Amino acid sequence: MLAVASFKRWLFRLYGPEAAPIILTQRRVYVLPTGAGLTYAAALGLMLIGAINYNLSLGYALIFLLAGLGLVALLHTFRNLVQIEISPGRAEPVFAGDMAHFGLQLLNRRKQGRFAVSLNLAGGKAVSTDLAADAATAVNLPLPAARRGWLRPGRATLQTRYPLCLVRAWGYVEPDMRCLVYPRPEASPPPLPLSASGEAGGARSGKGTEDFSGLRTHQPADSPRHVAWKAVARGQPLLTKQFTGASTAQVWLDWNDLPPDLDIEARLSRLTRWLLDAHAQGLSYGLCLPGKTIPLDQGTRQFQDCLEALALHGS
C-alpha cells in the first residue's frame, strides 16, 4: 500500500499544499477516453471492418473524417484545461455540521474562453463554471465540516469533457488554505449563568458601552482595548477608560462550572451556545478554559476570540 501511495504521489504530483498561483501545466493534465469515447472508437472500428469487407471508398472517407474529429476533440478538451492558474480565496468560519465553502480564483490568460470546467473537493459536490477570456473567475467549493478545529480542503480536482464528451481531461491541485470550524452549539442548554458570574447595572459599575465617563486605575483583568493609550503616551500611569449608558450584565463562561458528567465536546457545545446568547444580548462576557482565559469584554473581536478559543481547545 505504501508503494502504491508513493506511486500516486509521484504520478499525480501530490506533494501537499502548494504556493499560489498554481498553474496546470501540460505535465499536470491527464486525458483518458470516456465511456462515450470508447463506444465511439468501437463504432469506428466496426465501420472500418465493413468498409474493408465491401471495399467502400466513401466508407473510408467517412471513417477517417470521424477519426479526425475525435482527435480534434481530444486536443480541444486538453486545451480547455491546460494553463489555468488557481489561487486560494477566502474560507469563512462555520460551525461543526455545517457546510464549509472554500473560495478559489481561476485565471484564464488566453484570448479564448474555457467552458464546462468542473471542480470538486474529495467528499464535496462538484461545481461547474465557464471561464471568460483573459479574466478571473471566482468559485466556492463546498465541503462538509464534521469536526471542530482547522479544516483543510486537501486535493481539488479540475476536469472537463468539453466539447464532445469523448475524452476526459483532469488535473489535481492542493491550495494552501484552511477553514476554522467552531463547536456545534447545544440545541437546548440551561440559561446563562448570570447570577453566578456578575452583577447587572453597567451604569453603576462603569461597565457600560455608550458614553465615556472617565478614567480609573488599570487593573490586571481589564481589557487592553479599554486602556487609555494616549494618556500613557503623555507619560501618565496606566489607566482604564470607563463608560456609562447601556446597562451591561457580566457573565463568565467557565469550563469548571459545568457538570462533571459532560464530556469535552459537550462542554464546548454548551459554552458555544452560551457565548452566542451572551453576544446576542449585548452582555459583557469572559471565557475560562483549561490553560486559557479571555477577560471580560464585548464586541465582535471578543466574540471571534472566544469562538476561536473554543474551536481550537486541545489542538
Residue 206 lies in a domain: yes
The full DSSP string for 150-190 is EE----EEEEE-TTTSSEEEEEEE-BS--EEEEPPPPSSPP
Residue 229 lies in a domain: yes
Residue 89 lies in a domain: yes
Place of cell 471578543: 302
Place of cell 468539453: 162
- Both 282 and 242 in one domain: the answer is yes
Give the pLDDT score at 192.
87
Residue 187 lies in a domain: no
- Both 167 and 208 in one domain: the answer is no
One-letter amino acid at 230 equals K
Give the pLDDT score at 17.
80
Give the pLDDT score at 62.
95
- Both 97 and 155 in one domain: the answer is yes
CA-CA-CA-CA dihedral for 142, 147, 149, 154, to nearest 10? -40
- Both 95 and 207 in one domain: the answer is no
- Joined together, the cell numbers standing for residue 48 give 472500418
- Both 170 and 268 in one domain: the answer is no
Distance (Å, whole) CA 40 – CA 165: 11
| Structural domain that includes position 67 | 1-177
Residue 191 lies in a domain: no
pTM greater than 0.85? no
Contact (CB, 8 A) for 122 and 154: yes
Give the pLDDT score at 20.
85
- Joined together, the cell numbers standing for residue 94 give 462555520
Residue stretches of the chain with pLDDT short of 70:
1-15, 195-226, 229, 232-233, 241-248
Give the pLDDT score at 15.
63
Pairing status of strand 99-108 against strand 135-144: antiparallel
Max intra-chain CA distance, the chain:
105
One-letter amino acid at 305 equals D
- Both 166 and 211 in one domain: the answer is no
- Both 37 and 149 in one domain: the answer is yes
- Both 146 and 245 in one domain: the answer is no
- Both 238 and 162 in one domain: the answer is no
Place of cell 480534434: 72
Q: 254: part of which helix (H) or strand (E)?
A: strand 250-254
Q: How far is CA 2 from CA 8, 87, 156, 173, 198, in A?
A: 10, 30, 22, 21, 58
- Both 257 and 214 in one domain: the answer is yes
Q: How many domains does the chain have?
A: 2
- Joined together, the cell numbers standing for residue 313 give 481547545
Q: How many CB atoms lie within 10 A of CB 280?
A: 9
Give the pLDDT score at 219.
60
